[in-house]
Structure formats: structure tokens, C-alpha cells
Chain A
Amino acid sequence: MPDALPPDAVRKVARLSRLALAEEQVARYGEQLSAVLGYVERLRELDLEGVEPMSNPLDETNRLDADTPGGTIPGATFMRMAPEALPPFLKVPKVLGDGGA
């Protein structure tokens, strides 16, 4: 398994996680995440050759429902739930940064 997380890797994973970390948090998270990633290294001791990965405890497969319309929550409710809305739209900041077209 790969080595534990250096600061640049913490910054990268924070960016992928969409978490704006303050610089002073990077070292601390790095230590804590490294401790956990170090601990899980013990999985390498096991012989897992030929073992099928198990993502669901009951090995269930997806079930398809009939495609029939049902009741739903009114749009006005969602507008009231949103932190910023201009019904019938949700307000978002500009999607593309300054480098965008």
C-alpha cells in the first residue's frame, strides 16, 4: 500500500473532498490520517487471492421498481429549504472562474 500522507497529499485530498482547509490544519490532519492509514496497513498480512469483494452484507442485487409516477414534495418546499433562492430557481455563484470562457 502507498505511504502515509505528506502535506501536499493532504491538500490534494482536501481539494478533492471540497474542504477549504486552513494551512495550520494541514499538518494536524496529515498526522491523524497517516496514523489511520498506517494502521490499516495490517490488511496486507492477509492472503486475499481469489476472494470476491463484498460490497453488500447480504450480497443483494439492485431491485428495479415499476416506473410509475407517485406523490412528490412540492417545488415550493425546496425553494424554502434552500439558503438562497429566487423561485423557481436556486441561486448559485458563478460557475466558471476567471480563467473560464
Chain B
Amino acid sequence: MILAAARSDKERAAFVCSPADGPQLRFGDMHPPLPTVTELRDAISHKRMSAVEATREALDRATAINPRLNIFLELFPDRAIEQARAVDRAIAGGQPAGPLGGVPIALKDNMCLGSPALDYGKTTCGSKILAEYRSPYTCTAAARLMEAGAVIIGKCNMDEFAMGSSGEHSAFGPTRNPWDPERVPGGSSSGSAAAVAAGIVPASLGSDTGGSIRQPAGLCNIVGMKPTYGRVSRYGLVAFASSLDQIGPFTRTVADCAAMLNVLCGHDPHDSTSAQRPPEDFGAELERGVEGLTIGVPRQAKSEANHPSVAGAVERAVKVYEGLGARAVEVDLPHTPHGIAAYYIINPAEASSNLARFDGIRYGHRAKLAPREDLEDLYSKSRAEGFGREVQRRIMLGTHVLSSGYYDAYYTTALKVRRKIKGDYDAAFEQGCHALLMPSSPTPAFKIGEKMNDPLAMYLEDVYTVGVNLAGLPGIVIPGGFGTVDGRELPVGMQLVGPAFDESRLLRIARMLERETGFGARMAVG
């Protein structure tokens, strides 16, 4: 069904552009605009559509598309329909449906969803070690969505334990990019990004430790946001690198991103790093414009390693902002070249500690032992059988950099560089920048298999995203344009980074670029 959409002329125009100046949608043709979160919620609350209808549509699409793209690890049709019925009953009874009433949403499979009865679906983290794991509790982020009336239709594929930038490091096979199934959707929130890009759900949740929401959003032509560290509770998010992890939404529009943040953000006593901030309406000032604001463009974002389409997208965005009355200035983030190095010490260090809990005893995979093998063998064999190669690499890297004699040389050094990186961002904001503009990744989506045997090449994918996690800042990626690779048109993402807890203004700045370019209105849906 097509709903009346509040879209700008440029966004509408994107639907009727000729294939010659748009991407070749071989996976599917140009599709009429699918309803957004806010459109669906309004349609359901005004009874133009039922929550059950919306949920059935999402489940049907998921079932049809999943064999080709491997987006979902599990769907919950019965529970989802049951949740949708409850929303419809509430509306019929004259009760408010909630800010996400009846909206179908998907979760990354590192978010616990369950009850002490262990009667919900699995939480696999994309890993063999948790292939049969059923959580006895539900993460705060999912609980908040459900309280707001959202319907959780399923759990999405991901790089194992969120370690990866392509979605290929899943024990359950790679997710494919809806724009070109031969290519990666990005990672680690691969399925969550693809579910929105393929038009299955209007929103999903991902987690971002070094770019795992923003990079796939860019490669899939959707909106993805990592909020400030502490904005969204991490309770029930399977811990990877605790000082870097943050949950955030994927959506098709900036307004939907704000609507999701309104539900997700807030203090949680279950997460000691959750921030105590007054409630905000993140969408209140979206259309206010950017006149008089200053947009910083880091010198380091103009790397020669960028694909021409990525460089072009940055230039185009600068022109858009200048045309709207904002000032664009070049800024220096001198420690950017050291970000990946610091990140790939801190991240494995924290991961090796967090993943020590998987021991084959309390839950998860347990190896069969030979006679005379003991407890140590149980740990080592269960972990070797249960963890994939990338996870094993990171655990060993982390163990090495934390081990006696190496701790200061690696870990303490990386923590000092982390402070320098944060200092770079602070200096740019103190100079008057309201946001920094940079790509989400240096190239459009690469081919499945291209970087699998070269971990370092995969790590360098994260060059524009890891600094934001190290500094704990909010970052949003929106569609930035299209580039041609091997004769195929593929999306590129544009990233905006703001000061800590300045999400409202960051969303407003992102909205203006979205409104003026309209790239996000093009969808890879069949």
C-alpha cells in the first residue's frame, strides 16, 4: 500500500529519475515509496491500516527475500502477530497505540530477547557458540521499543559477536547487499541494514562499536545512527568492547531516526554507563535549517584512497550546506591515521575480556571430551569449536596486548592515543564547528570474499568511523549519492559527527542534506 508521504520535491523527484542517472536496480525495479515509521504509525493509529496487516506484509517480504539475501536468522511470526493484535485491540478500545504503535521492527541478533521460561527465539550473536542460546531476559532497548508499541518481527544476521565490517564473519553465512547480491552490505550490523534497505521493515536496531551501524547504512543507502556513548542502554546487548559499544537505529529517513531515538534514549539503572539526561524530542527542530551553522570538513577525509564517488559526495554535500547558508571550514583531525591502530588494540583487549565468559559450562556450546581430558580442555576445545576465525584472532590479539610485559607498550599506549583522538574532535568543536562532515567508508560496497583473507584490509574499512567510538561521540550516516564500480551503480554514505549529546542538532543538519539531495528515496527493493 502507498501512503501519502511528507516528502520534499527533491525526494519525490528521486522516484521518477531515469535509470541512466540513478542506480541500475537489478535486484528490483524502482519501487513506489514504502511507508516510513511515522507514516505507518499514523496510518495504524488512524485505522487506515491495521498493525496485523503491517506485520503480515513485513513477514511476507522477509520470507520472500531471505533466501536470496540471508538477512534474518529467525522470524517470530506467531509472536509478532500476537503483538500486532494487542496494538489493534488497544486502538479499537480508544487507547493510545504508542509512539511506534504497530510498526514492524527487526533486531540485530546480539540483543537479548527472552524470558525466564526460555520460550522466545534464540540470541546467537552470529556465532556457533551461541547457536542454541535462548536468553532468560530482554535487553532494555528492545523492551523500550515494545513498550512503545513496536512489533519485533525477527532477529538479523551479523558478523559473529559484531566483529567485522562486511557481514561475512557470520557462522550462518554472509548477508548480501540488496543493491547487488554479489557484494557485502557492510557490517557488523549486516542483516539489520539490509532489512531496511530491502524494504522489509522501516526500522531496525544495530550496534556500533567501530562503525557497525554507520558503515552498512552507507553501503545500503539508508540512515544509520550511533548515538553518544551512554545515550542508549547496553543492558542485554551481548558485550563486545564495552567502552565503545552503542545501540542505534537504522531507518530510511532522518525523521524516523529521531522517532526511534525518542523511544530508545534514556537512563537505565541496569547499565552503569547509561547517561542521566533530561528527555528530549529529537525531531522537534528537524526542519529548522542550517543557516549560520559551521560544518567542519576534516582534511583527513579527503584521502587519495577514497573512491572518486566518495570524494564527489563530500564535495556535493559541502556545496549543499553552503547553498543553505552554512559555513564550511577545513579542520584538522591529526590523529586520524592512528585511529585504526589504537582501535585494534583497545577493541580486541576489551573483547578478549568480555568473551572470557564463554566457557562451555553455564550456557552455549560445550565440546565433547576424550577420556582423561579435564576442565582446561573443556574451555579450550569448546571455545575453539564455537568461535569463528575472526573472533579467535581478536581474542588472541587482545590477550597478547594485555599480557604481562606487553600491557604498557600496547594497551596503555592505545589509551593515550584515544585521548589525543578525542582531543582532535574537541578542538574542532571548540573552533566553532557544529558538526563534522566525512564519508562513512572510503569505497562503495566491495565484493563478497574480496577481503576475507586479509584482516588488516578489512580493518582499514573502518578508517572514518572508529574515531567517533573512541571519542564517544554521536555520528549519523545518511545516503550521500551513488558511484559506479565495475559498471554497477552503488550507494555511498555521508557521515556527520557532532559533540557529545548534541543529537538534536546533528539530526537537523543531516535532515537538510537529506531534504536537498533526496538520495535516500531510491530503494533497492523488488
Question: Which of A17, A21, A92 counts the most chain B CB atoms within 10 A?
Answer: A17
Flag if B363 contacts A82 (CB, 8 Å). Answer: yes
Q: Dominant SS at the A interface?
A: loop
CA of A84 to CA of B273, assembled, Å: 34
Q: Does B384 contact A (CB under 8 A)?
A: yes
* Residues 22-72 of A contacting B (Cβ, < 8 Å): 29, 32-33, 35-37, 39-46, 48, 51-58, 60, 62-63, 65
Residues from chain B with Cβ under 8 Å of A92 in the complex: 361, 375, 378
Q: Does B470 contact A (CB under 8 A)?
A: yes
Flag if A43 contacts B341 (CB, 8 Å). Answer: yes
Q: Dominant SS at the B interface?
A: helix
> How far apart are A86's CB and chain B's nearest CB, in angstroms?
13
Question: Which of A10, A37, A78 counts the most chain B CB atoms within 10 A?
Answer: A37
Q: A33-B400, A53-B415, A82-B363 are in contact. Are A77 and B470 (CB under 8 A)?
A: no
Taking a contact as CB atoms closer than 8 A, the residue among B243, B269, B335 that contacts A57 in the complex is B243
Taking a contact as CB atoms closer than 8 A, the residue among B136, B373, B415 that contacts A77 in the complex is B136
Q: Count of A residues near B, CB < 8 Å?
A: 58
Q: A19-B396, A33-B396, A56-B243 are in contact. Are A82 and B379 (CB under 8 A)?
A: no
CA of A20 to CA of B375, assembled, Å: 13
Residues from chain A with Cβ under 8 Å of B229 in the complex: 57-58
Residues from chain B with Cβ under 8 Å of A77 in the complex: 116-118, 136
Interface string of B260-273 (1 = CB under 8 A from A): 00000000010011
* Residues 413-442 of B contacting A (Cβ, < 8 Å): 413-420, 422
CA of A21 to CA of B118, assembled, Å: 33
Residue of A nearest to B346 (CB): A55
Q: A46-B417, A80-B118, A83-B360 are in contact. Are A36 and B369 (CB under 8 A)?
A: no
Q: Does B409 contact A (CB under 8 A)?
A: yes
Question: Which residues of A are interface residues toward B (Cβ below 8 A)?
Answer: 1-2, 5, 9-10, 13-21, 29, 32-33, 35-37, 39-46, 48, 51-58, 60, 62-63, 65, 73-74, 77-78, 80-84, 90, 92-98
Residues from chain B with Cβ under 8 Å of A46 in the complex: 335, 338, 417, 420
Question: Which of B275, B364, B374, B400 counts the most chain A CB atoms within 10 A?
Answer: B400
> How far apart are B523's CB and chain A's nearest CB, in angstroms?
34
CA of A58 to CA of B422, assembled, Å: 10
> How far apart are B407's CB and chain A's nearest CB, in angstroms?
11
CA of A58 to CA of B418, assembled, Å: 12
> How far apart are A45's CB and chain B's nearest CB, in angstroms?
8
Taking a contact as CB atoms closer than 8 A, the residue among A10, A35, A54, A97 that contacts B419 in the complex is A54
